[in-house]
Chains A and B, each alone.
Chain A
């Protein structure tokens, strides 16, 4: 029971409190890829903590020492043992397991939907673009007639970069190459998956952690792609292209509140900060791993104390017959 409460506390801390100080972190700008991992680690830890909390409520601490097989038996017993006994421990256990199951299913379902809907929309989009648009020398690029400079990529099994005719006409070749490099970086790094997971989690649970994580990840994937493009292209070309595209006039509904992001990107391209050095990166990765695994530690620590004791699994009522 204590373990369940501790885990629930960790989950609550991560889901509702942690994002506020954490979103002021500055280091992700210097290592956007790691920044994305950080938000993913936090989200994973929160989810696991919440689910494990529910499971732990069903299982007296010492019984978790039997590991996964014990866990399964506990679950089965909690649901199948006769309902004659009005044991508060069992009721808590039932509630805990049900909540755990619901959380896991909801998260999985929402992310799955996001992936599936996104994939089918993108497939259809490319299919139409291939007929309506024009191909040039580069098989990746399709040009669509549109009189404002707009560029976007369509990830998927047949990825494409869509360039409006105005963009192709307005951007000088070196700027266009820089933008294509940025888009290719998105496609290579499968940012569509990263975004689908982040958006899926917000849909499933619109709590501060997942909201902040989604906002941050949306921002960080652009920085990551900018950095990738900047490895082989002049940052100024990327910055100029960014402004040309960002200042295109499009319908009111399409205007994003992304002014701050574009401004930040231009500033960052003009004056890249010191990149994170190796030792710092390794330290961060170790920290992220710890965060991601922390629920198992929190849930497992009490187990270590009783691991190896010879306990039978509970026959009824939560009391254990030694043997």
Chain B
């Protein structure tokens, strides 16, 4: 899956921040005014995002309005699940800085650390 470019990321950002579905014109107004963008550019990108499944759309009058397919948190949670290797298929492709452990072991670890930190 080719990574999305900065404009796609900005558009998704705005889509998540908004409390309602946005038309292309709405989106244009919200995008950083410093970067004047062509209507057609934004329209094309939103169309692509829809095709890729990031945005859902419906017709309102003559135009489309777009909203995110999933809340941002859902994506973040899914990414974290993958990183935490949930539903292990044992192809651990992401390596955590430290693997998390059950509470009993956690207590032992914290105790060990405070012992070390107290040592001269």
Q: Which residues of A contact B (CB under 8 A)?
A: 114, 117-118, 121-133, 144-146, 150-154, 158, 162, 164, 179, 182-183, 186, 191-192, 195, 199, 221, 236, 239-243, 245-251, 253-259, 261-263, 265-267, 269-271
**B88→A253 contact, CB < 8 A:** yes
**A132→B100 contact, CB < 8 A:** no
Contacts A131-B8, A131-B75, A152-B97 supplied; 12 other A-B pairs, CB < 8 Å: A117-B91, A144-B76, A144-B79, A145-B72, A239-B116, A239-B117, A245-B97, A246-B99, A246-B100, A253-B86, A254-B100, A262-B109
Find chain B residues with CB under 8 A from A269 CB.
116
12 contacts between A and B (CB under 8 A): A144-B80, A186-B95, A251-B81, A253-B88, A254-B81, A254-B86, A261-B99, A262-B109, A263-B105, A263-B112, A270-B116, A271-B116
**A199→B96 contact, CB < 8 A:** no
Q: Which of B75, B79, B81, B109 contacts A246 (CB 8 A)?
A: B109
B17 touches A (CB below 8 Å): no
Given contacts A199-B92, A270-B116, contact A158 B3 (CB under 8 A): yes
**B8→A242 contact, CB < 8 A:** no
**B4→A153 contact, CB < 8 A:** no
Q: Which of B79, B90, B100, B109 contacts A263 (CB 8 A)?
A: B109
**A246→B73 contact, CB < 8 A:** no
Q: Which of B4, B72, B95, B119 contacts A152 (CB 8 A)?
A: B95
- In angstroms, Cα B83 to Cα A127, docked, is 14
CB distance from B47 to the nearest CB of A (A): 16
Q: Which of A186, A250, A258 contacts B84 (CB 8 A)?
A: A250
A151 and chain B: residue at smallest CB distance: B97
Q: Which of B54, B90, B100 contacts A255 (CB 8 A)?
A: B100
**B98→A130 contact, CB < 8 A:** no
**B91→A114 contact, CB < 8 A:** yes
Find chain B residues with CB under 8 A from A145 CB.
72-73, 76
From B86, B101, B110, name the one whose CB has the most chain A CB atoms within 10 angstroms.
B101
Chain B interface, number of residues (Cβ within 8 angstroms): 48
- In angstroms, Cα B79 to Cα A146, docked, is 10
A130 and chain B: residue at smallest CB distance: B3
- In angstroms, Cα B82 to Cα A76, docked, is 48
CB distance from B78 to the nearest CB of A (A): 8
**B105→A259 contact, CB < 8 A:** yes
Once A and B bind, how many residue pairs between them come within 8 Å at the CB atom?
170
Given contacts A146-B77, A245-B97, A253-B86, contact A270 B119 (CB under 8 A): yes
Find chain A residues with CB under 8 A from B117 CB.
236, 239-240
B18 touches A (CB below 8 Å): no
B113 and chain A: residue at smallest CB distance: A243
Find chain A residues with CB under 8 A from B12 CB.
131-132
B93 touches A (CB below 8 Å): yes
CB distance from A256 to the nearest CB of B (A): 4
B60 touches A (CB below 8 Å): no
B1 touches A (CB below 8 Å): yes
CB distance from A217 to the nearest CB of B (A): 11
A250 and chain B: residue at smallest CB distance: B100
B87 touches A (CB below 8 Å): yes
**B79→A191 contact, CB < 8 A:** no
**B109→A132 contact, CB < 8 A:** no
**A152→B112 contact, CB < 8 A:** no
